[in-house]
Amino acid sequence: MKKIVIAFFLIASVIGCSSSDNNETNSNQGYDRTAMLTNWADNIIIPAFENYSTKVNTLSQAATAFTTAPDDTKLAAVRTAWLEAYTAYQYVAMYDFGKAEELYLKQSANTYPTDVTGIQTNITSGSYNLNLQAQFTRQGFPAVDYLINGQGTDAETITYLSNANAAAYLNAVANQLKTIATTVTTDWKGDYRSQYVQNNGTSVTSAVNKTTNNFIKNLEKDIRTAKLGIPAGLFSNGTTYANKVEAYYKNDVSKALLNAGIQAEIDFFNGKAFNNTATGASLKNALDGVNAVRGGTKLSDVITNQFATVVTTNNMLNNSLSVQVTNDNAKMLTAYSTLQQNVIYLKVDMMQALNMTIDYVDGDGD
């Protein structure tokens, strides 16, 4: 019997070693969490927040200039600043942790559809506290959209915002966006950056896990569900909601904002720097580093290809998703399911390949 045991161990080691030779062709490098976090923080997240901060600052200044002496040119400047800031927002929405989470950056900047009645109540009363959660539907980009794009002609808009209370409200909302953006950016540029990079472990609360979870959650909840699913009526028995899109009052930029959101996701996945085309340590590298191959194709390629399909499908949509759901909702549903497929690839296949923990608990491999 003992001989059998020894023989088995011998065979085991021989086969164990020999079968490895076939696989050694694939260079398996793993991935460096610290390098990844450094690239994310320094080249992607902080520049994106700086950009966002600058853009909402411009918006706030434009609003002040306009409300001080309203005219067509300054209104146009506010509108431009608003759209640029709203686009910049799409690039920070997924970093909903740390100060951003604490200050409800996401909820206060982009809860839509906006609460028109509530906004009017606030304007009439002239007293409101935008820090309250109940006020999230009455501020942010959707509220600014209503104030500057939802009042009819330019002349009517100028008249509307010439009212002292309305002007004050526009400034207050712009200022709230600016304050939160500045605080979050300052925090990232201060101590938080090193805390973030040093939190390089593998636990649920580690920076890599937290960031990756938010990256996926943003794609799933804030892009797939909110930008496509809800207006397309997927969550309301097929009843479409033309008004439940971003920038409803401007109306022709909801696709552009969707595309910006997707591009932010793609860039993050690729580890592309916010300010230039350089790429660094990323989830894509990590997947290649652990040699994740599925059915003969690199998993990173599976995901990249699906992102490409998502972009193609989204580009078939009308510039206004409101118009799209009204005229041809089928295209919205296609866009939804195309994106859904990549949510699955990321949430199931990528998380599994990178062996990321979702909760601290004992397990014996299910």
Partner 1 sequence: MILRIKTYLNSYTNAASLAFYRIAFGFMMLLGLIRFAANGWIDKFYIQPSFHFTYYGFSWIKPIGIYTYGIFILCFLSCIFIMIGYKYRASAIVFFLSFTYIELMDKTTYLNHYYFITVISFIMIFLPAGNYFSVDSYRNPQQAFGKTPRWTVDILKLMLAIVYFYAGLAKLNSDWLVNAMPLKIWLTGHSNLPFVGPLMLKSWLHYTFSWFGAAYDLFIVLLLINRRTRIVGFILVVVFHLLTSLLFPIGMFPYIMIVSSLIFFSGSFHQKCLTGIKLLHLPILLVDNTKNYIPQNRSLYKGSIVVLSIFMFIQLVFPFRYLCYPGELFWTEEGFRFSWRVMLMEKAGYAQFIVTDAKSGKKIYVNNEDFLTVFQEKQMSFQPDFILEYAHFLHDHYQKEGLNDPEVRVQNYVALNGRLSRPYVDPTINLAEKKESFESKDWILPFEDTIWGL
Where along the sequence are the contacts to partner 1 (CB under 8 A)? 1-2, 5, 8-9, 12-13, 15-17, 19-21, 23-24, 26, 28-31, 33, 200-202, 229, 234-235, 237-238, 290-292, 294-295, 299, 302, 340, 343-345, 347-349, 351-355, 357-366
Cβ closer to partner 1: 37 or 143?
Answer: 37
Min separation Cβ 226 and partner 1, Å: 13
Cβ closer to partner 1: 162 or 297?
Answer: 297
Q: Which helix (H) or strand (E) holds 149?
A: helix 140-149
Cβ closer to partner 1: 132 or 358?
Answer: 358
Cβ closer to partner 1: 191 or 365?
Answer: 365
CA proximity to 37, closest of 178, 267, 206: 206
Min separation Cβ 197 and partner 1, Å: 14
Cβ closer to partner 1: 12 or 132?
Answer: 12
Q: How many CA atoms lie within 13 A of 116 on its CB side?
A: 12
Is there a cis peptide before residue 113, judged by omega within 30 degrees of 0? yes
22, 215, 218 from 347: Cα distances, Å: 30, 10, 12
Min separation Cβ 88 and partner 1, Å: 29
* DSSP string for 196-245: HHH--SSSTTSHHHHHHHHHHHIIIIIIIIIIIITTTTTTTTT---TTSS
Min separation Cβ 35 and partner 1, Å: 11
Q: Residues, the chain, total? A: 366
Q: Which helix (H) or strand (E) holds 297?
A: strand 297-298
Min separation Cβ 24 and partner 1, Å: 6
Q: H helices then E strands: how many in the chain?
A: 18, 2
